[in-house]
Amino acid sequence: MSGYTPDEKLRFDQLVKLRRQWLKDQELSPREPVLPAKASGPIAKFWAGFVEPKSLWRLYTYKAYRGGVFTLTRLLIPAWLVHYYVKYHVATRPYGILELKPKLFPGDVIQETGEVVPDLPEIHGHH
C-alpha cells in the first residue's frame, strides 16, 4: 500500500489550509496597528510645536547656535591663541616669561618698576 489513506489526506489538506490561513492572518493591513491617541500635556504640546520643522523658534535657535559656533571657532579661540603667543613668546616687555632672570647688583635698575637697587649697608663687625 502506497500513499495516504483518504482520512490522512483530508487531515493533511485541512492542516495545510489552516496554516496558510494563519500566515495570512499575521499580515497587517495598512490601517494597523490601531492605537488610541494619547492625550499630551502642556509641556509635550510646547515641545511638539518647538521641534516642528520650519517653526520660528527652531530657525532662530539654529541661527543663534551657528553664530555662536562661528564666533567661538573662528574668532575667540584664534584670538586667544594669537594673544597668548604674542604675550609670552614675542613681546620683549616686562611681565612676559623670561628664560633667565638677570642678576641684580647694587645700582641696577629693576626692569618692572624702574627702581634703583640700593647699595648694601656697610656693616663693621668682626666677620
- Residue 86 in contact with residue 73, Cβ under 8 Å? no
- Residue 63 in contact with residue 55, Cβ under 8 Å? no
| Predicted pLDDT at 97 | 58
| Predicted pLDDT at 14 | 96
Helices and strands, number each (H, E), in the chain: 4, 0
pTM of the model: 0.38
| Predicted pLDDT at 13 | 95
3 state SS of 43: helix
DSSP code per residue over 1-35: --S--HHHHHHHHHHHHHHHHHHHHHSPPTT-S--
Kindly report, residue by residue over 68-120, the tens digit of the pLDDT.
999 999 999 999 999 998 887 876 666 655 567 678 888 898 888 889 988 88
| Predicted pLDDT at 82 | 94
The rounded percent of the chain whose pLDDT value lies above 70 is 89
Q: Which residue has the cell 616669561?
A: 97
The answer, yes or no, to whether residue 66 has pLDDT greater than 60, is yes
Question: Rounded distance, CA 118 to CA 106, Å?
Answer: 5
Which of 92, 88, 94 has its CA nearest to residue 115?
94
